[in-house]
């Protein structure tokens, strides 16, 4: 497969934390340094320290997107927004209205004017700092669950976690991206042999649970194109996966297609950045 690199690449992806204990990522415009945060499920100290570690200026945060209401994606929002407010930073908070209604964290920060709330819906386009944002639905056991495609100039970045299957509209939104953040949550054999109770095992591997390594590999195989450069395995389970297995599974797809894209894995306790 011939690989072509876009002449205009704008995005960096900084994953500050990814996993069941807390999630936070930043999509940064490399040319302006402006960024959009995805989820805020880590403490204020970790958020600010890890932003500094990846070289991202928190004064350049323009918006915070929330994928869904589960606490590992929202529990740090209040303290982080209060910390930003002390710096004079008041980003947009963008999420589905049903998610606000299901989350005391979100309801509180909106009612206390720590941010400006902008409701968003799947299958709609929005614009933040000249970044075009395509919102799509994911399949998860939440009141609403969202994924995102970011576009700027010739560049595109896709972000999907917390989904039991990849819905057709999600798949279509992920086509043609240069950077792909793709859930690769569990190894099926490890999950089946784990000490998780039966009902939790069924939840994880259900159509409203999380993508396995094998499911992620199938999706990646259908998203390959010449402009894909970076793949990041997201939301890796610390109980039912290893950080090595998703990389090996996704790399196998690339190797079989003779595709030169790079596979990285996102960690729970340390940052990873791609550009």
Query: Can you tell me the distance from the alpha carbon of 142 to that of 184, in angstroms, rounded to the nearest whole number?
Result: 19
Residue 211 lies in a domain: yes
The H or E element containing residue 117 is: strand 116-119
Whether residue 262 lies inside any domain: the answer is: yes
Q: Calculate mean pLDDT across residues 210-220.
A: 98
**Taking 90 as the threshold, does the pLDDT of residue 5 lie above it?**
no
Cα→Cα distances 80→40, 76, 87, Å = 8, 6, 11
pLDDT digits (tens, 9 = 90+) for 148-159: 999 999 999 999
The answer to whether residue 123 scores a pLDDT higher than 50 is yes
Distance CA 270, CA 18 (A): 9
- How far separated are the first and last CA of the chain, in Å rounded? 21
Q: Does residue 6 have a pLDDT over 80?
A: no
Range of the domain at 81: 11-274
Phi-psi region of 19 (alpha: psi -120 to 50; beta: other; left: phi over 0): left
Per the domain annotation, does 3 fall within a domain?
no
Question: Is 45 a domain residue?
Answer: yes
Burial of 104 (0-12, 13-18, 19+ CB in 10 A): exposed
Domain annotation covers residue 166 = yes
Q: Is 55 part of any domain?
A: yes
Q: Are 64 and 56 spatial neighbours (Cβ–Cβ below 8 Å)?
A: no
Name the pLDDT band for 121 (thresholds 50, 70, 90): very high
- The answer to whether the beta carbons of residues 20 and 238 sit under 8 Å apart is yes
- pLDDT tens readout for residues 124-144: 999 999 999 999 999 999 999
In this prediction, residue 164 carries a pLDDT of: 97
Calpha distance 93→112 (Å, rounded): 13
Q: Can you give the pTM of this predicted structure?
A: 0.95
Burial of 166 (0-12, 13-18, 19+ CB in 10 A): buried
- Residues 4-20: what's their mean pLDDT? 81
Q: What is the CATH number of the domain that holds 55?
A: 3.60.15.10
Residue 4 falls inside a structural domain: no
Does 44 score more than 60 pLDDT?
yes
Let me know if residue 137 belongs to a domain.
yes
Residues in the chain: 275
Number of domains in the chain: 1
């Amino acid at each position: 497969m011939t690989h072509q690199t876009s002449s205009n690449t704008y995005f960096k992806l900084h994953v500050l934390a990814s996993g069941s204990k807390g999630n936070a990522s930043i999509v940064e415009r490399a040319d302006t340094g402006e960024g959009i945060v995805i989820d805020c499920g880590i403490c204020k100290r970790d958020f600010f320290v890890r932003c500094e570690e990846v070289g991202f200026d928190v004064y350049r945060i323009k918006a915070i997107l929330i994928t869904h209401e589960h606490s590992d994606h929202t529990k740090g929002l209040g303290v982080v927004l209060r910390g930003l407010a002390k710096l004079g930073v008041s980003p947009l908070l963008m999420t589905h209205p049903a998610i606000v209604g299901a989350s005391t964290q979100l309801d509180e920060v909106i009612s206390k004017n720590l941010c400006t709330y902008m409701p968003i819906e799947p299958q709609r386009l929005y614009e933040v700092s000249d970044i075009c944002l395509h919102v799509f639905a994911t399949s998860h056991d939440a009141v609403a669950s969202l994924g995102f495609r970011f576009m700027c100039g010739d560049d595109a970045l896709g972000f999907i976690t917390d989904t039991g299957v990849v819905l057709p509209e999600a798949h279509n939104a992920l086509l043609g991206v240069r950077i792909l953040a793709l859930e690769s949550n569990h190894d099926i054999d490890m999950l089946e042999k784990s000490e998780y109770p039966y009902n939790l095992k069924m939840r994880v591997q259900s159509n409203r649970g999380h993508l396995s390594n094998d499911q992620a590999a199938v999706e990646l195989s259908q998203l390959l194109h010449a402009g894909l450069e970076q793949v990041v395995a997201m939301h890796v389970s610390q109980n039912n996966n290893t950080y090595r297995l998703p990389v090996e599974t996704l790399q196998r797809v690339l190797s079989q297609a003779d595709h030169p894209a790079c596979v990285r894995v996102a960690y729970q306790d340390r940052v990873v950045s791609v550009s």
